[in-house]
Structure 1
């Protein structure tokens, strides 16, 4: 049997010295597609200043997800690791990661999610009313404010967070997450580092105020309350520094990627009126009266199909990174120790064997008769997979379904003409003109506004 280190490297090229093909990675939305067509579903490149193997498809995902801490370990580009912080769940490894994941999951367990529903409904209705009054606007900008308001209210108890300095700092910080880690005042990374320091100071004040009034016997009111009182297996609570980095990660996860999914929903459903009518028919059949609950949300099976197809067609994260800790073999190529590996979410979801006519928006793929997401292990991975699967995926689904339900019951929208609907993909996908829409109340609304 040939040793993996004796096998050839995958085909591909490294590009320029040091920065490799990083610029093309950022600027060419067909970066992966071109290389897949030229080299096949495993190839080498150099991005974020590191030699990297790109492995595409369900089989590749299974190898990486099932061999965490054997062949690979989770990693992020250097800029992302620094800006998320050493105490962030995303950058932690091994036993610490497992322990902290169990703690943070307390903010996303079913009981916690159920308690979030009335707050999400209240904020959603406020925005729906504002959008009706505005009539015409860029939906992406509004959805960013909406998701930040929900996240800041539920995670740190800061209602109306989108109108605070915290939101502006957060926006600038996000812009540097996937950038070249050059820490100069005028670079995206340098500006993001400055914002990170200010964000941590803000969060420290919020946490400090909460600790002053902390009552161990009181019912938790938000995720921060849950995290403050949470203990690991040895009975230790999170430190202030850990709390700050974990809350920053929660704000990012509950805002950035969810905004992208919601704007993709608005775009795709806005282009397919037949799908919107089916969503509306399902909502009307549920006869929702005074507010939603988890049982009612679970009955929205067609809406589930729609969101799965949105996430398949436009996943908010295009892929993820691993670092090779032991050289291994994949498809008769050497995947060398010390290199990075990128798995591909977007390209996995274009596999014609799993998703025939993959460019078509077809929620029926996920119907009980077809179950496209169950065909192959790790063939549908909008939230990643394995022990690093997105911890907040059920929260994202909850918020998305509440917004879509309230939209379909009482409101409607149409895409304005003469706009650029092509997608930019860094850091997350969005239409280049921000999805310009006309928003209005549903004609002959059949439900009572929540």
Structure 2
């Protein structure tokens, strides 16, 4: 009888804990978008959250014209102009990694790399390295606290996020003003240039606050998910040296890598990258198995029926990218890393719609997906042609999915320089390269 009473008390306690958890979850969900809105706007701003904006002020139905602007930012012509700068940023980063005497934390350094790319290339800011490093640390603090509980108390995550946002806004405003004052010497139009020029074409003069918001959104879009995918790419090249060697063979066949191993002179072009079919397969397979985010949300515009269940108009539904990739019948041996599944001979992703959607699908597919794929392709080319690297731990780390997919310890890897000049791989070291990576 005593045990039955204890079991009853335990069951009631468990039920009460569940109710408290559910109540807290509902409260957090209700306040979550308000937190994201506050993190990108001044606290004095009372504007409502635009429908479909994901909590950011410049995307949504109220700013529909900006969708056209963003299509220009990620157009073929814009990507062609970004490409040489992206390649230089990646080359400089890989040289820095190779110069480190100790192993690096790939995920942390990939975050630093994508942040640098967004600030230097996408936005065209000429920020001193010391200030850029400080801005990166502040930005990390901002991102880490975006989803904190909306409790504005001293030392709370919410307060730290607001403080980081204020520092970011000051730094971005300074960079924007300097950029607007110095318009000479530019050899390409960056994303911020296009944003400003396009707004004028639409009869809109963007305020400084709107420019800061747009700048922050562009950094946010280019940061976490690209860093996640970059880390996954490096991990898979470490795990599958045959894939790396096959990639090198393609580079040699396309004249991008000499038979001895050293990279050929000249910068990459979009049409050159488009001709690297196996490289495209590698990137697609990385994004299939290691999609940075789990899924997305949509609002039902018209009542419909799915597998016998009626989904009413106005409901919010969530689609899962990872579950789709794991269960799609078109993919064979879904847990195997096999880039050749995307080759012209097999084309497993062409057998049906919406089986492969690493960037979402439909009219709200990721606007920056072409920039992300371009960045990953350039990184893969530079890794294959100019780098030698090996895992610095005995085993590969466990993967976590929150907030984006990444290794729990960040992936510890040792990078090695090529030779004293950083520009040549000696022929006799090619076998060692394949064995090491």
TM range (shorter): 0.7 to 0.9
- The equivalent of 1:191 in structure 2 is 160
- The equivalent of 1:354 in structure 2 is 330
Residues 93 and 221 of structure 1: is their aligned pair in 2 closer, same or farther, counting only changes over 3 Å? closer
Matched, 1:138 2:140: no
Residues 307 and 332 of structure 1: is their aligned pair in 2 closer, same or farther, counting only changes over 3 Å? same
Matched, 1:49 2:25: no
Equivalences for residues 228-243 of structure 1 within 5 A: 228-231=196-199, 234-243=202-211
- The equivalent of 2:227 in structure 1 is 259
Equivalences for residues 254-333 of structure 1 within 5 A: 254-288=222-256, 289-324=265-300, 329-333=305-309
- SS of residue matched to 1:254: helix
- The equivalent of 2:400 in structure 1 is 424
Kindly state the Cα deviation for residue 177 of structure 1 after the two structures are TM-superposed: 3.1
Q: Contact 2:341 / 2:348 at 8 angstroms: preserved in 1?
A: yes
Kindly state the Cα deviation for residue 352 of structure 1 after the two structures are TM-superposed: 4.5
Residues 404 and 360 of structure 1: is their aligned pair in 2 closer, same or farther, counting only changes over 3 Å? same
- SS of residue matched to 1:320: strand
For 2:248 and 2:325, how far apart are their aligned partners in 1?
A: 27
Q: Contact 1:140 / 1:259 at 8 angstroms: preserved in 2?
A: yes
Q: Contact 2:95 / 2:417 at 8 angstroms: preserved in 1?
A: no
- The equivalent of 1:20 in structure 2 is 22
- SS of residue matched to 2:416: strand
- The equivalent of 1:153 in structure 2 is 120
- The equivalent of 2:87 in structure 1 is 121
Kindly state the Cα deviation for residue 201 of structure 1 after the two structures are TM-superposed: 2.4
- SS of residue matched to 2:22: coil
- The equivalent of 1:444 in structure 2 is 426
Task: Encode CA deviations 1:198-239: one digit per residue, 9 max, x unaligned.
Answer: 222222222233333458x97654222221222377432433
Greater strand share, 1 or 2? 1
For 1:161 and 1:347, how far apart are their aligned partners in 2?
A: 42
Matched, 1:83 2:63: no
Q: Contact 1:284 / 1:409 at 8 angstroms: preserved in 2?
A: no
Q: Contact 1:147 / 1:255 at 8 angstroms: preserved in 2?
A: yes
Kindly state the Cα deviation for residue 292 of structure 1 after the two structures are TM-superposed: 1.1
Kindly state the Cα deviation for residue 97 of structure 1 after the two structures are TM-superposed: 3.9
Residues 192 and 124 of structure 1: is their aligned pair in 2 closer, same or farther, counting only changes over 3 Å? same
For 1:193 and 1:337, how far apart are their aligned partners in 2?
A: 36
Kindly state the Cα deviation for residue 79 of structure 1 after the two structures are TM-superposed: 3.8
- SS of residue matched to 1:140: helix
- The equivalent of 1:374 in structure 2 is 350
Q: Contact 1:220 / 1:226 at 8 angstroms: preserved in 2?
A: no
- SS of residue matched to 1:439: strand
Greater shift after overlay, 397-406 or 370-379?
370-379
For 2:21 and 2:201, how far apart are their aligned partners in 1?
A: 43
- The equivalent of 2:378 in structure 1 is 402
- SS of residue matched to 1:322: strand
Q: Contact 1:79 / 1:181 at 8 angstroms: preserved in 2?
A: yes
Task: Encode CA deviations 1:333-363: one digit per residue, 9 max, x unaligned.
Answer: 3545665322111111111412222111111
- SS of residue matched to 1:262: helix
Which of 302, 317, 320 is equivalent to 1:341?
317
Residues 194 and 120 of structure 1: is their aligned pair in 2 closer, same or farther, counting only changes over 3 Å? same
TM-score between both structures, scaled by the size of structure 1: 0.77
Task: Encode CA deviations 1:158-195: one digit per residue, 9 max, x unaligned.
Answer: 35488432211211111123444334343433322221
Kindly state the Cα deviation for residue 393 of structure 1 after the two structures are TM-superposed: 1.0
Q: Contact 2:399 / 2:407 at 8 angstroms: preserved in 1?
A: yes
Task: Encode CA deviations 1:38-94: one digit per residue, 9 max, x unaligned.
Answer: xxxxxxxx79536xxxxxxxxxxxxxxxxxxxxxxxxx8554444355589654566
Q: Contact 2:388 / 2:417 at 8 angstroms: preserved in 1?
A: yes
- SS of residue matched to 1:342: strand
Gaps of 5+ in 2: 1-16, 42-48, 257-264, 419-424, 429-437
Number of equivalences: 387
For 1:109 and 1:319, how far apart are their aligned partners in 2?
A: 25
TM-score between both structures, scaled by the size of structure 2: 0.79
Kindly state the Cα deviation for residue 445 of structure 1 after the two structures are TM-superposed: 6.0
- The equivalent of 1:173 in structure 2 is 142
- SS of residue matched to 1:343: strand
Greater shift after overlay, 358-367 or 219-228?
219-228
- SS of residue matched to 2:332: coil
Greater helix share, 1 or 2? 2
For 1:396 and 1:388, how far apart are their aligned partners in 2?
A: 16
- The equivalent of 1:206 in structure 2 is 175
Q: CA RMSD in A?
A: 3.2
Which of 243, 248, 252 is equivalent to 2:216?
248
